[in-house]
Amino acid sequence: MSTPRTSLPDSKPGLDAANQVAAQIAAPAPQRILVLDVGGAHVKAQIKGGRQEIKIVSGPKLTPDAMLTRLHARLRGKRYDAVSIGLPAPVIHGRVMQEPRNLGKGWKDFDFQAAFDCPVRLINDAAMQALGSYAGGHMLFLGLGTGLGSAAIFDGVIQPLELAHLPYRKHTFEDYVGEKALEDAGRKKWRAHVEETIELLRAAIQPDYIVLGGGNVRHLRKLPAGVRRGDNANAFPGGFRLWQAAGMTARMAETDLMHE
């Protein structure tokens, strides 16, 4: 378990939403951040400043309690003062809105801050990897993994997206470009659907560039113009950036306020 040293201010009666966000942004950023990238196949963890990546198997039966049991066994003796968690589910204002499709039950209402005994920030996993991949301007991120992750960042403002389950052909995008589609249809057909998905979403969102992340991007030989290859490891700098006191984190907070 960690030794908490830095915490965000708690919500207080009499503070309106804008003042609460301002207080959070003004708080000193924690120095030792534990980042968890929770996926349908594995949970990967790394502490800022550390070189070792911890990896545990996940899957459709993994619950938060089971993850924590395995994780704490691997983290024994390691110190951290804040946690960032990227989850394969919609996250709005730091709340998990529904159970992840490719994991077990219990994630939606789980109290991660109590479990880790330090401040925790939650974000959609694709948004966290997008944050670590961002190089300015208008970016669309697509994660080709167990499913299809998606997020956009426009001039430093991050917007998690849920494009995977929009209608595409006879089913949804995820049904044609997810890992099961790769296994069932084969690489040739899968690649064709990935390329068509890219062009449809590019036309709809109009980004300056597209980053393709996720483990299955390795199966693409050639990328379309305006598309660059991402890396799953970018989830870690994305998780570290969540705690930066200015810049992108501030803009994310301002975006949250607009939707309150």
Q: Which helix (H) or strand (E) holds 127?
A: helix 125-133
Q: Which amino acid is at 98?
A: Q
What tokens does 257 get? 């306020």
Classify domain 129-233 at the CATH class level: alpha beta
pLDDT at 258: 35
Q: Does residue 116 contact residue 35 with C-beta atoms inside 8 Å? A: no
Q: Encode pLDDT of 28-77 as tens digits.
A: 789 899 999 999 899 999 999 887 899 999 999 999 999 999 999 999 88
Q: Which amino acid is at 109?
A: D
pLDDT at 31: 87
Q: Long-range contacts for 198-205 (Cβ within 8 Å, ≥24 apart)? A: 198/142, 198/224, 198/227, 199/224, 200/168, 201/140, 201/142, 201/150, 201/163, 202/140, 202/226, 205/140, 205/152
Compute φ and ψ for 203, nearest 5 degrees.
Answer: -65, -35
Nearest to 235 by CA among 49, 83, 46: 46
Residue whose token pair is 């030792």:
32
Q: What's the Cα-to-Cα distance from 202 to each of 104, 139, 140, 153, 182, rounded to whole Å? A: 33, 10, 8, 14, 22
What is the number of other CB atoms lying within 10 angstroms of the CB of residue 61? 9
Q: Is pLDDT larger for residue 13 or for residue 227?
A: 227
What tokens does 134 get? 């961002």
pLDDT at 13: 40
What tokens does 246 get? 């200015």
Model confidence at 1: pLDDT above 50: no
Q: Which helix (H) or strand (E) holds 58?
A: none
Q: Return the domain boundaries, the chain.
A: 17-125, 129-233
Residues β-bridged to residue 142: 150, 212
Separation of alpha carbons 82 and 211, rounded Å? 28
Model confidence at 83: pLDDT above 80: yes
Q: ∠ CA(27), CA(30), CA(34), 5° rounding?
A: 140
Classify domain 17-125 at the CATH class level: alpha beta
pLDDT at 19: 54
Alpha-carbon torsion 98, 173, 216, 33, what sign?
Answer: negative
Q: Encode pLDDT of 177-232 as tens digits.
A: 999 999 999 999 999 999 999 999 999 999 999 999 999 999 999 999 999 999 99
Q: How confident is the model at residue 24 (pLDDT cuts 50, 70, 90)?
A: low
Mean pLDDT computed over every residue of the chain:
86
Q: ∠ CA(163), CA(164), CA(166), 5° rounding?
A: 65
